[in-house]
Structures are given as structure tokens and as C-alpha cells.
Amino acid sequence: MRNLTMHREKTIIACAAKIRIFIEDVDGKLILDGVKCKQIGSLKNGKTDTYAITSERVKLFVVFSHVAPQKYHAVCLLEADVRNQNVELFTAPMADAFAGNPFYIFTK
């Protein structure tokens, strides 16, 4: 197991919306991009949280719409890590109202 630390950048865009963090899981109930996923947490604007994830290769999804998660999400592939090193990622929205103010995932 390793730790995933997600930082949500504090912005005025989509500031009231809470995003949900999903991870690839065979027992998951939500299907995103053909992958079964389970929710591991949620993030409010400007907050940081840490989640325990597997050391195997896994897809991480940031869902920014409760109504249409299959359409409004970002994905990041986390490679396998035999040394169990922790992962630190950041997420923030882009100002594009026609695309639902999509979030993106990045490292610093």
C-alpha cells in the first residue's frame, strides 16, 4: 500500500462544488471510460486529503459532476510502485463554462 495525497487548488471557478475522487476497483459500482471504479473520497475547494491506495498500476479519476460523472471527469494513470512511494497530485478547474469548467490533474 502507498498513500495518495490530493491537493485541490483554491480557485473562484467551481468554488462551491465538491469533487469526488474515484480509483479503479473490480468491485466498483460506477463505470468511467470502461473501468469499474469506487469512490475513495471527496475534496472541497482549497483542501488536501490523503488516501491509502494499492501499489499496483491503477487509474485515478476526479469527477466534477454529480449529475453526469461519465462525461465530466479527469483521469490519471498511476504506475505500479514496488517501493510503495507516496504519490502527490494536484487538481484545479479550468475556466470553460461550455465544457463544465473541467478539472485537470497535475504534479508540481
pLDDT at 38: 95
Amino acid at site 76:
C
Q: Does residue 20 contact residue 67 with C-beta atoms inside 8 Å?
A: no
Q: Read off the pTM.
A: 0.88
**What CATH number belongs to 2-106?**
2.60.40
Q: What is the mean pLDDT of each run of 10 residues along the chain (108 residues)?
A: 93 88 94 94 95 94 87 89 86 78 79
CA distance 33 to 65: 15
Question: Over the Cα atoms of the chain, what is R_g?
Answer: 13
Spans of all domains in the chain: 2-106
